[in-house]
Amino acid sequence: MAQLVLIGTFSAMTRLSVKALRLYDELDLLRPAKVDASSGYRYYALGQAGKAESIRRLRALDMPIEEIRLVLAASPADVSGLLAAHRQRLRAERDRHDHMLAVITRLINGEERLMNYTITVENLPAQIVASVRRHTDLAGTGATVAEGFGVLVGALTQAGRHPAGAPFLVFHDVIDADNDGDIEICIPIGAPVAAASPVQVGQTAEVTAAATTHQGRHDEIAPAYHALTTWITEHGHEIAGPPRETYLNDPAVTAEADLLTQVAWPIR
Amino acid sequence: MAQLVLIGTFSAMTRLSVKALRLYDELDLLRPAKVDASSGYRYYALGQAGKAESIRRLRALDMPIEEIRLVLAASPADVSGLLAAHRQRLRAERDRHDHMLAVITRLINGEERLMNYTITVENLPAQIVASVRRHTDLAGTGATVAEGFGVLVGALTQAGRHPAGAPFLVFHDVIDADNDGDIEICIPIGAPVAAASPVQVGQTAEVTAAATTHQGRHDEIAPAYHALTTWITEHGHEIAGPPRETYLNDPAVTAEADLLTQVAWPIR
DNA sequence: ATTGACTCTCCCCTGGGAGGAGGGACGACG
DNA sequence: CGTCGTCCCTCCTCCCAGGGGAGAGTCAAT
């Protein structure tokens, strides 16, 4: 008959903790060869060490216990399929860590900032702009803006003119999940040209504004607005007009994480 | 006064779940600007969105809440140190996943096996061997074997002879954590040479043995022995002598995971 | 008989929430 | 003023693979 050993000895042999062995017993993953009915002592057969070793190695690969159960019960041909499925998860986890490492390294190097909406008071000069005005809801903003810029760029091209500064949006209404409203899509031009509907040409007034720059995806810009409104009320200013967003780099050629958007809110 | 919003609105703004926001309140990581005393409703100020955003981004980097608390309280100069410490952990996790991926890939490719101690009956031929005998305990086995091989190789070199087969150990006693005992370190040689104490020269008898091959680090070899003894008793054989381990490749030039050790136990 | 080393079961704890039960609060509508 | 739907509250359990420890029983040696 195969030799029987107590749980402590079996634990030393297999390098599975006593706690783990008791858990595997309870979960029916590795039952002792014999359990004394009166004392409850678990007795393991030496021949079970091989299975225990397999369990230990699969756990070292972070394989869940339920899957280890399948692997141990599967035919050798099916095992590699199960292992391949687990490998997919391990790959996903490693890739996730690679991505997190890239992000945290950018944070450490100061290429990306964590929270600092540094708020400055800017003097926005008068500008001559070509613009179109659109009505949109929050979800449609991206498409609307893209369409509007297309119209503007087409008109400027036809007029043989080039932008004289970074394009910007003016938010005439508050647009959020519940409210739609008007936005004005603007491109500065150096000198006036004739308006050609729907493109309008006008001159913005010189204004003083509280401004901050948001780095990253545009749909994460909300905190920048909240920082601005908080700053404005805390510093005793008053809002003097609709806010504008200026696109400091080109979304078409810039990685999402590197996008820079200045948010400026006219104050008094 | 800053505008106040309910938890659901703040959740939508910050993309932190309501559950998470309530947890952060309880943990004193992000308290609402105001809590209604009678209803218990949480009211958040819009200006808190920036801090919430920071928390969300740090959690996306798997940073523990307690460390996020430190980061938010730290001066900008100290933040990068905290981030660097976390980066170290992320690196360690990624490296661990890389290692697990390497192991599971070897398993899938069949370069390493999970459990299969295939047990065969081998006929071990008579061999002329040079050997030294040593007494050791379990912990000292590695050093003792290395020393013994050194002595043997030195003697063979001096005699102008080369090994005629893979070196092996004979375990004359059971050596485990509680018992020390005798081992014999052997190198086959093609033809007899004069013994020169402590090196002995002799001829092993031809024997039939149950054998299996263990792949991997030597300190994980225990299951191979257990598999052998189980097989021997289950197949009605009897042990007919001390077991031997034959080193099928050279530990000096082989990666630990690729080491091959044949364990053979004479049977009747 | 006593000691000391094991072993048993049972319970609580981990981290960061998710899911849900049961009940109060709020605003819009009729 | 009642009602409905939606939101919010607290409190409970669950996840995963065990770790830590309390209190009591068991085994072998002295």
Interacting residues of B5 by C-beta distance below 8 A, sequence separation 6+: B13, B43, B44, B46
Interacting residues of A164 by C-beta distance below 8 A, sequence separation 6+: A127, A128, A188, A189, A190
Q: Quote the distance between the C-alpha of residue B2 and its chain's center.
A: 57
- The secondary structure element, H or E, covering residue B4 is strand B4-6
Given a contact cutoff of 8 angstroms between Cβ atoms, the answer to whether A247 and A261 are in contact is: yes
Structure tokens, A170:
């003016």
* DSSP letter (8 states) at residue B201: E
Residues of B in contact with A16 (CB under 8 A): none
Structure tokens, B79:
């933040």
Q: Which ranges of chain B have pLDDT less than 70?
A: 1-2, 177-178
Please name the residue whose C-alpha is nearest to the C1' of nucleotide D10. Answer: B40
Give the pLDDT confidence of A89-129 residue by residue, as tens digits: 999 999 999 999 999 999 999 888 887 788 999 999 999 99
Percent of all residues in chain A with a pLDDT value above 90, rounded to a whole number: 59
* Distance of B137 CA from C2 C1′ (whole Å): 32
Please name the residue whose C-alpha is nearest to the C1' of nucleotide C7. Answer: A41
Rounded Cα–Cα distance for residues A169 and A152 (Å): 13
Token pair 């400027």 is found at A156
Whether B155 and chain A come into contact, CB under 8 Å, resolves to no
pLDDT of residue B250: 86
Closest residue to B98, CB basis, from A76, A94, A117: A94
Characterise B110 by phi-psi region: left (phi > 0), alpha (psi -120 to 50), beta (else).
Answer: left
- The secondary structure element, H or E, covering residue B165 is none
pLDDT of residue A24: 98
Given a contact cutoff of 8 angstroms between Cβ atoms, the answer to whether A243 and A225 are in contact is: yes
Interacting residues of A158 by C-beta distance below 8 A, sequence separation 6+: none
Closest residue to A230, CB basis, from B2, B94, B222: B2
Token pair 């043989």 is found at A160
CA nearest neighbour of B92 among B125, B129, B62, B49 = B62
A84: confidence class by pLDDT, cuts 50, 70, 90: very high
Question: Cα separations (Å) of B127 from A244, B135, B187, B206, B268?
Answer: 91, 23, 10, 8, 19
Give the pLDDT confidence of A3-51 residue by residue, as tens digits: 899 999 999 999 999 999 999 999 999 999 999 999 999 999 998 999 9
Give the pLDDT confidence of A54-71 residue by residue, as tens digits: 999 999 999 999 999 999
- Rg for chain B (alpha carbons), in Å? 32
Give the closest nucleotide to A21 (alpha carbon vs C1'): D18
Characterise B28 by phi-psi region: left (phi > 0), alpha (psi -120 to 50), beta (else).
Answer: left
Q: Is the pLDDT of residue A210 over 90?
A: yes
The verdict on a CB contact (< 8 Å) between A104 and B86 is yes
pLDDT of residue A177: 66
Rounded Cα–Cα distance for residues B99 and B218 (Å): 20
Strand C close to A44 by CB, under 7 A? no
Given a contact cutoff of 8 angstroms between Cβ atoms, the answer to whether B94 and B88 are in contact is: no
The bases of strand C with some atom under 7 A from any protein CB are 6-9, 15-19, 24-26
Residue type, A170: V
pLDDT of residue B77: 86
Whether A98 and chain B come into contact, CB under 8 Å, resolves to yes
Which chain B residue has its CA at the smallest distance from A81's CA? B108
Which chain A residue has its CA at the smallest distance from B62's CA? A100
Please state the length of chain B: 268
Given a contact cutoff of 8 angstroms between Cβ atoms, the answer to whether A50 and B227 are in contact is: yes
* DSSP letter (8 states) at residue B257: G
Choice between B197 and A163, residue whose per-residue pLDDT is larger = A163
Which chain A residue has its CA at the smallest distance from B92's CA? A97
pLDDT of residue A12: 92
DSSP per residue, chain A: ---EEEHHHHHHHHT--HHHHHHHHHTTSS--SEE-TTT--EEEEGGGHHHHHHHHHHHHTT--HHHHHHHHHS-HHHHHHHHHHHHHHHHHHHHHHHHHHHHHHHHHTTSS-SS----EEEEEPPEEEEEEEEEE-TTTHHHHHHHHHHHHHHHHHHTT--B-S--EEEESS--SSS--EEEEEEEEBSS----BTTBEEEEEPPEEEEEEEEES-GGG-HHHHHHHHHHHHHTT--B-S--EEEE-S-TTTS-GGG-EEEEEEEB-
Burial of residue A164 (CB within 10 Å: 0-12, 13-18, 19+) is: middle
Give the pLDDT confidence of B41-66 residue by residue, as tens digits: 999 998 899 999 999 999 999 999 99
Whether A46 and chain B come into contact, CB under 8 Å, resolves to yes
> What interhelical angle do B222-234 and A7-14 show, nearest 10?
120
Give the closest nucleotide to B43 (alpha carbon vs C1'): D8
pLDDT of residue A178: 65
Phi, psi of A244 (to 5 degrees): -130, 150
Characterise B63 by phi-psi region: left (phi > 0), alpha (psi -120 to 50), beta (else).
Answer: beta
A139: confidence class by pLDDT, cuts 50, 70, 90: confident
Give the closest nucleotide to B41 (alpha carbon vs C1'): D8
Rounded Cα–Cα distance for residues B67 and B73 (Å): 10
Rounded Cα–Cα distance for residues B265 and B117 (Å): 14
B contact test, residue of A14, A46, A80 with most B CBs within 10 A: A46
Neighbours of A152 (CB within 10 A): 22
Q: Is the pLDDT of residue A1 over 90?
A: no
Token pair 């050609």 is found at A196
Given a contact cutoff of 8 angstroms between Cβ atoms, the answer to whether B180 and B230 are in contact is: no
Which chain A residue has its CA at the smallest distance from B49's CA? A223
Given a contact cutoff of 8 angstroms between Cβ atoms, the answer to whether A92 and A170 are in contact is: no
Q: How far is the alpha carbon of B47 from chain A, nearest alpha carbon, in Å?
A: 5
Strand C close to B15 by CB, under 7 A? no
Token pair 């810009």 is found at A221
Rounded Cα–Cα distance for residues A191 and A205 (Å): 15
pLDDT of residue B47: 87
Secondary structure of residue B226 in the 3-state scheme = helix
The verdict on a CB contact (< 8 Å) between B49 and A223 is yes
Strands in A181-188's sheet, in edge-to-edge order, are A120-124, A207-215, A260-266, A244-247, A168-171, A181-188, A127-136, A200-204
How many Å from the N-terminal Cα to the C-terminal Cα in chain A? 94
0.85 surpassed by pTM? no
CA nearest neighbour of B149 among B84, B80, B199, B210 = B199
Most confident of A168-177, A204-213, B89-98, B127-136: B89-98
The verdict on a CB contact (< 8 Å) between A61 and B93 is no
Strand D close to A64 by CB, under 7 A? yes
Secondary structure of residue B125 in the 3-state scheme = coil
pLDDT of residue B177: 67
A contact test, residue of B93, B99, B114, B237 with most A CBs within 10 A: B114
